[in-house]
Amino acid sequence: MVQKFKEHVAAAMPFLNGKKLLLACSGGLDSVVLAHLCKALKFDFALAHCNFSLRGTESDGDEDFVRELASTFEIDVYVKQFDTEQYAEEQRLSVQMAARELRYKWFDELLQSKRYDYVLTAHHADDSLETFLINLSRGTGIEGLSGIPQVNGNVVRPLLPFSRNEIIEYAKSESIQWREDSSNASVKYLRNKIRHEIVPGIKELNPTFLQNFQHTQHHLRQINDLVNNHLNELKSKLFQQRKDKVQIKIAELQKLQPLDAYLYGLFNGYGFSEWSDVKDLLAAESGKQVFSKTHRLIKDRQSLILAKIERKESEAFEIHSDKAIDELPIKISLEDVETFEKQGQNVVFLDKEKLNFPLVLRNWKKGDYFYPFGMKGKKKLSKFFKDEKMDLISKEKQWLLCSGDDIVWIVGRRADERFKVDGSTMKILKITQFP
């Protein structure tokens, strides 16, 4: 068995010889067998272990195990702890996707800083089949069925042609120890069901099922390459660069059949996901927009305009109580008054003595919070914007009137509790926003 593995790697990945390799090692069966294989091949390799801190002491046990393995092999080991859940929340990713991003980001850093040539991961044929079936059960496209290639840039997967059983055999024949992996429970449930209840039957359909499956995935990846070539040709024809924007003639898009698939193919790289909105845009009135996290598509007469959403440096304007305020980006007036009426959307009454002049008018920034008028306690602006169902552009356009660091008024939307007029107020300032 060991011989078979060695021969495959020697034949399929001769370029690994003499290179500096970084082996992603969880401590589980697959990556530990891969480590032993690299040792048997006399490769120049180190271990890299991600501690995602998702399973408490169990995670730490895995880390110890990998450190121990490296020490036995007398090779380097890199370990990094991640706060996966926080990152997932911040980036609005699933925990799995977050772990994946963190992992590959760190590997890239290590490749660069420590001058490694390749990252080796221990994916095998059953992983591919299980992922295929998971994606199939959820509904997927060609990418979800195509699987991962054995060599993808500087990421290499030496075990990809081998089945889990072959890897277990390898481990047994060499009396290799490993850590039982108990990752994300819900994923594990689905994967385990597939592994134990579906895959054995499927493999029985054909004695060479796993090989055939690999050929199928290879074909699908090639088909995907063809599609990408096609879409890139199409983009270079249809996407006309205009300074920092791209203009696309709608009439040209309309010629494409099947339109849905083309719209998806042309724009999914820009983060769009609401396909019916994108499609509707073709027939919408001029000025209508659709947003992704990073881009916007604007209907502009006979064209669509694709533009990056600029996260421009926030501008800030000072407002002196006694100065003309013509140069402001919005039209507001400040007025000392004797009495106050009810706050309105475009009018606020403030306790002037609680304010520090000059006031500042600025856009929102991450971490902003305020004390909503009429409520107890503070609220993050991001939460407020979400509750108000504001889109990205509206959020960026939103002006905040501030006293020092404190938000006084979310202009045109909500005043702050801290600056309200109360029984002890001596001077009332009325601020009005004009359309």
ω into residue 329 within 30 of 0, thus cis? no
Q: Does 202 bind a second copy (CB under 8 A)?
A: yes
Q: Does 186 bind a second copy (CB under 8 A)?
A: no
Question: Dihedral (C-alpha) 40, 61, 89, 98: value to the nearest 10 degrees?
Answer: 10
Which one of 68, 76, 141, 283 is in contact with a second copy (CB under 8 A)? 141
DSSP string, 124-155: -HHHHHHHHHHHHHH---HHHHH---SEETTE
Using the Cα atoms of residue 411, residue 414, residue 417 and residue 420 in order, give the sign of their dihedral: positive
Site string for a second copy, 215-244 (x = CB under 8 A): xx--xx-xxxxxx-xxx-x-----------
Q: Which C-beta is closer to a second copy: that of 59 or that of 140?
A: 140
Per-residue burial over 286-310, b if 16 or more Cβ lie within 10 Å, else e, is eeebbbbeebbbbbbeebbbbbeee
Site string for a second copy, 75-114 (x = CB under 8 A): ----------------------------------------
Q: Is 156 helix (H, G, I), strand (E, B) or coil?
A: strand
Q: Is 276 helix (H, G, I), strand (E, B) or coil?
A: helix
Q: Which C-beta is closer to a second copy: that of 212 or that of 345?
A: 212
Q: Which C-beta is closer to a second copy: that of 19 or that of 193?
A: 193
Closest CA to 125 of 190, 199, 38, 20: 199
User: SS3 breakdown of the chain: % helix, strand, coil, rounded to 5?
Assistant: 45, 20, 35
The binding site consists of: 26-31
Q: Does 193 bind a second copy (CB under 8 A)?
A: yes
Q: Does 392 bind a second copy (CB under 8 A)?
A: no
Residues 6+ apart with CB under 8 A from 153: none
Closest approach of Cβ 267 to a second copy, in Å? 14
Run of H or E including 211: helix 209-238
Closest approach of Cβ 145 to a second copy, in Å? 7
Closest approach of Cβ 256 to a second copy, in Å? 8
Per-residue burial over 102-133, b if 16 or more Cβ lie within 10 Å, else e, is bbeebbeebbeeeebebbbbbbbbbbbbbbbb
Part in contact with a second copy (CB under 8 A); list of ranges 46-54, 102-110, 192-200, 396-404? 192-200
**Residue 245 CA from chain centroid, whole number:** 24
Question: Are the beta carbons of 2 and 173 closer than 8 angstroms?
Answer: yes
Q: Which C-beta is closer to a second copy: that of 2 or that of 134?
A: 134
Q: Does 431 bind a second copy (CB under 8 A)?
A: no
What is the footprint of a second copy within residues 241-270 (CB under 8 A)? 257-258, 260-262, 265
Q: Does 209 bind a second copy (CB under 8 A)?
A: yes
Q: Does 136 bind a second copy (CB under 8 A)?
A: yes
CA distance 245 to 242: 5
Q: Which C-beta is closer to a second copy: that of 10 or that of 187?
A: 187
Size of the site for a second copy (CB under 8 A): 45
Q: Which residues bind a second copy (CB under 8 A)?
A: 133-134, 136-142, 144-145, 190, 193-194, 197-198, 201-202, 204-206, 209, 211-213, 215-216, 219-220, 222-227, 229-231, 233, 257-258, 260-262, 265
